[in-house]
């Protein structure tokens, strides 16, 4: 029995359960609070299912996993959800099936701890500081020369990440984040507990991270850490990131990237995950080739890449990152397959605009008929809450047969006109 912990979302549960069963195991699920509709849907996706009041409480998770696995051997308990990944690792240790060190996961989930670990290891990092009050804007701006970025210390999906160029903008951005941090139900649970690992506990609802602006091209890569050894998956170019830091387009392999620079990027991300202390897990690392610092890690996500990057890796190199996570949690190697589409592949994401309840998504069939689109994956359904405060990967396209990034931008523009999100304003 493999038990996975869920905080939010349902689409990924079906995919995860199928991957667990493909490994020859029963699929169990521990979930945080659910609606009636979610309860019925989730119960039909897994073999056993238990709801707990708080999916970030290791004790509750351990007790639920014992209940779910009764009569079967529990081989793994894990989560790839930002809000539950650390608690699941702690619960796995309580049950004697822990293989992923919780301390490394906690350091990766705490962006300030990540920065400190990288600086202590002598790795390139921008100037950074914590900010606990709007009145500190001038002092923080002295410590972190502007322009800078301010963000929640343990946020996800570009939630409320803001670029600032003056002391006044920094103070205003602090107030905006503090006022709106708990307004998004899907992410509210991320900020309910104090963050540890840096000596003094951090209250993520009032203390935010400010770091100097990096200038350069951005890349991302998933990597597999197994018993201290790092395996890099192919590098991916973030060729289209908008002003909100929303990631709209990825392409693999990057176009026109010097092989020596690709090796330097690989070395940078390898050093970063080892400095943070990650092991026996899959991580997604984002890196910018800064004009001054060179390849500099922006963020370490202690889970596989979101969006549909897992599909990209599966098609292009035959590696299923979800299966890799399950294999690492169980202590066995994942089965790999022959590449299905070993050519340049891109993913494009269309984001809804506005805030409210989704009524419908129109134009999906038209997008699927575009000549370069080989797959359309939606991750939203009518009734879902839509917000512009963080990335909701609503409609995702797998694209092949394109000529270059300019061609991809043209495909994106066409798709963006065809798809329309019908949202009932809140």
More confident site: 383 or 92 = 92
For the entire predicted model, the pTM comes to 0.91
Helix (H) or strand (E) holding 328: helix 321-330
Predicted local distance difference test score (pLDDT) of residue 12 = 82
Residues in the chain: 426
* Strands of the 356-362 sheet, one edge to the other: 385-386, 356-362, 420-425
- pLDDT band for position 152 (50/70/90)? very high
Question: Could you tell me which residues are beta bridge partners of residue 236?
Answer: 220
CB–CB of 323/388 below 8 Å?
no
Predicted local distance difference test score (pLDDT) of residue 256 = 87
Q: Residue 360: is it exposed, middle or buried by C-beta count within 10 angstroms (0-12/13-18/19+)?
A: exposed
**Averaged pLDDT score across all residues of the chain:** 93
More confident site: 157 or 106 = 106
Detail the DSSP E strand segments found in 254-308.
Answer: 281-290, 294-301
Instruction: Round to whole Å and give the CA distance between 46 and 266.
Output: 37
CB–CB of 128/112 below 8 Å?
yes
Is the bond preceding residue 187 a cis peptide, omega within 30 degrees? no
- pLDDT band for position 245 (50/70/90)? confident
Domain 127-212 has CATH 3.40.50.300: no
- pLDDT band for position 7 (50/70/90)? confident
C-alpha distance from residue 72 to each of 20, 26, 66, 88 (Å): 15, 9, 10, 19
Start-to-end C-alpha separation, the chain: 41
- pLDDT band for position 197 (50/70/90)? low
**Picking from 109-123, 276-290, 296-310, which range would have the lowest pLDDT averaged per residue?**
296-310
pLDDT tens digits for range 295-348: 999 999 998 988 789 999 999 999 999 999 999 999 999 999 999 999 999 999
Look-up: residue for tokens 């996706």? 45
Closest CA to 104 of 250, 230, 287: 230
Predicted local distance difference test score (pLDDT) of residue 185 = 79
Closest CA to 143 of 126, 160, 118, 161: 126
The yes-or-no verdict on residue 196 having pLDDT over 80 is no
Q: Which homologous superfamily is 2-98 in?
A: HAD superfamily/HAD-like (3.40.50.1000)
Give the orientation angle of helix 11-22 with respect to helix 321-330, to 10 degrees: 60
Q: Are both 127-212 and 214-342 of the same fold?
A: no
Alpha-carbon 14 to chain mean position: 18
What ranges do the domains of the chain cover? Answer: 2-98, 127-212, 214-342, 344-426
Predicted local distance difference test score (pLDDT) of residue 355 = 87
Helix spans in 69-144 (H)? 85-94, 102-109, 111-120, 137-143
Q: Cα-flanking dihedrals φ and ψ of residue 155, to 5°? A: -75, 180
Instruction: Round to whole Å and give the CA distance between 376 and 199.
Output: 46
Query: In degrees, to the nearest 5, what angle opens at C-alpha 351 toward C-alphas 159 and 375?
Result: 125
Instruction: Round to whole Å and give the CA distance between 305 and 284.
Output: 5
DSSP class of residue 135? G
Domain 214-342, CATH class in plain words = alpha beta
Structure tokens at 360: 């419908």
Could you tell me which CATH number the domain at 344-426 has? 3.30.470.20
pLDDT tens digits for range 31-77: 999 888 888 889 899 999 999 999 999 999 999 999 999 999 999 99
The yes-or-no verdict on residue 224 having pLDDT over 80 is yes
* DSSP conformation letters of 218-232: EEEEEEEEETTEEEE
Mean pLDDT of 96-121: 95
Share of the chain above pLDDT 70, in %: 100
More confident site: 297 or 425 = 297
Closest CA to 20 of 56, 47, 55: 47
């Amino acid at each position: 029995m493999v038990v996975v912990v869920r905080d939010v979302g349902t689409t990924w549960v079906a995919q995860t359960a199928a991957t667990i069963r493909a490994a020859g195991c029963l699929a169990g699920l521990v979930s945080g609070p659910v609606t009636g509709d979610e309860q019925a849907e989730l119960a039909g996706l897994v073999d056993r299912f238990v709801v707990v009041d708080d999916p970030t409480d290791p004790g509750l998770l351990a007790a639920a996993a014992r209940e779910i696995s009764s009569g079967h051997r529990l081989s793994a308990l894990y989560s790839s959800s930002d809000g539950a990944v650390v608690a699941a690792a702690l619960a796995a240790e309580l049950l004697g099936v822990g293989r992923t060190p919780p301390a490394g996961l906690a350091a990766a989930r705490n962006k300030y701890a990540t920065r400190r670990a990288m600086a202590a290891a002598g790795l390139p990092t921008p100037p950074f500081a914590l900010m606990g009050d709007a009145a500190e804007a001038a002092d923080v701006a002295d410590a972190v020369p502007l322009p800078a970025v301010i963000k929640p210390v343990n946020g996800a999906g570009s939630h409320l990440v803001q670029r600032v160029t003056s002391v006044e903008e920094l103070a205003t951005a602090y107030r905006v984040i503090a006022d709106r941090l708990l307004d998004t139900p899907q992410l509210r649970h991320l900020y309910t507990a104090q963050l540890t690992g840096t000596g003094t506990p951090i209250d993520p609802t009032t203390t935010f991270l400010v770091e100097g602006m990096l200038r350069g091209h951005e890349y991302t890569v998933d990597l597999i850490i197994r018993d201290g050894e790092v395996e890099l998956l192919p590098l991916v170019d973030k060729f289209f990131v908008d002003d909100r830091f929303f990631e709209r387009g990825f392409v693999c392999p990057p176009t026109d990237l010097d092989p020596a620079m690709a090796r330097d990027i690989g070395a940078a991300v390898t050093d970063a995950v080892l400095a943070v202390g990650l092991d026996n897990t899959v991580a997604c690392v984002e890196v910018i080739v800064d004009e001054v610092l060179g390849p500099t890690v922006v963020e370490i996500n202690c889970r596989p890449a979101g969006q549909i990057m897992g599909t990209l890796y599966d098609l292009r190199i035959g590696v299923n990152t979800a299966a890799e996570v399950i294999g690492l949690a169980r202590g066995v190697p994942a089965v790999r397959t022959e590449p299905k589409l070993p050519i340049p592949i891109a993913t494009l994401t269309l984001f809804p605009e506005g805030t409210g309840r989704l009524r419908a998504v129109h134009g999906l069939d038209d997008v699927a008929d575009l000549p370069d689109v080989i797959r359309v994956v939606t991750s939203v359904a009518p009734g879902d809450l839509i917000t512009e405060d963080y990335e909701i990967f609503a409609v995702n396209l797998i694209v092949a047969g394109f000529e270059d990034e300019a061609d991809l931008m043209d495909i994106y523009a066409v798709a963006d006109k065809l798809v329309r999100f019908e949202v009932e304003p809140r």
